[in-house]
Structure 1
Amino acid sequence: MNKGNLQDYCLSLLGATHDYQPEWQADRYHVGGRMFAMMGTDATGRPVITLKCEPSRAEELRETYEGIIPGYYMNKTHWNSIYFDSNLSDEFVEKLIQHSYELIFSKLTKKVQNQIISE
């Protein structure tokens, strides 16, 4: 996986914003003020991207792909972390980013959703 490509993809999503959390040494991506992706490292220093995921799909992904684990420092039911050194394609991870984005966007108020859409 290419971190730069995935960062560009995150920022290409409608209304997406970025910040850097120094305490976590992590790049965070938000929509409507709510995080949908975070790129940083795990406790061993291995780079990961952490994404929200529908719970049953999250578990299925973890069982299917060795490089996908329960969300590092996140709610393990709703978040997965994906190792950058796994053999997953950027395209596959982009689909997971899109899924995370859509889960977060759908939970925003209609007012905030409409503001983002009309920007």
Structure 2
Amino acid sequence: MDLEIAKSLCRTFPGCTEDMKWGADLVFSVGDKMFAVTRTGQEDGGISFKVDDERFLELTDRPGLVPAPYLARAKWVYVEDTDALGDEEAAELLRRSYELVFAKLTRKLQREILAHD
């Protein structure tokens, strides 16, 4: 998985915003709710994102993917080895993370986001 491709993909999602939090974390959000987080300034940094509850154990059993620190209880995984995922699979997982978070937004906010994109 190429992190630059992953970040570029996140930026294409309707209503996506990005900002820096906690000093060096680049956070991708929709409706002020995070759907992906990556470190900046680290060549070997990974990326964290939300996954479906039923896929959490499956994914964290794979080498290179672990429960995301501080967010595992919300079913987030951390890709510590970017070679653990191909670009296509990473894109599917990031898209799904966005969808899961978007689905939790109010209907009104969903409509506003979709109307602007």
Uncovered stretches (5+) of structure 1, i.e. residues with no partner: none
SS of the equivalent of 1:108 reads coil
Uncovered stretches (5+) of structure 2, i.e. residues with no partner: none
Pairwise CA RMSD of aligned residues?
A: 1.8
Q: How many angstroms apart in 2 are the aligned matches of 1:9 and 1:49? A: 13
- Aligned-residue offset at 1:84: 4.3
**Superposed, which structure 2 residues align to 1:15-54 within 5 Å?**
15-21=15-21, 23-40=22-39, 47-54=45-52
**Superposed, which structure 2 residues align to 1:71-110 within 5 Å?**
71-110=68-107
Question: Percent of aligned positions with the same letter in both sequences?
Answer: 31
Instruction: Identify, as 1 or 2, the structure richer in helix.
Output: 2
The reply to whether residue 12 of structure 1 matches residue 12 of structure 2 is: yes
Relative distance call for 1:76 and 1:67 in structure 2 (3 A) is farther
Q: Is the 8 A contact 1:3 1:84 kept in 2?
A: no
Relative distance call for 1:67 and 1:36 in structure 2 (3 A) is same
TM-score in terms of structure 2 length = 0.88
Which residue number in structure 1 is paired with residue 55 of structure 2?
57
Equivalenced residue count is 114
Q: Is the 8 A contact 2:9 2:91 kept in 1?
A: yes
Q: Is the 8 A contact 1:49 1:84 kept in 2?
A: no
TM-score in terms of structure 1 length = 0.86
Q: Name the aligned partner's letter for residue 54 of structure 2.
A: S
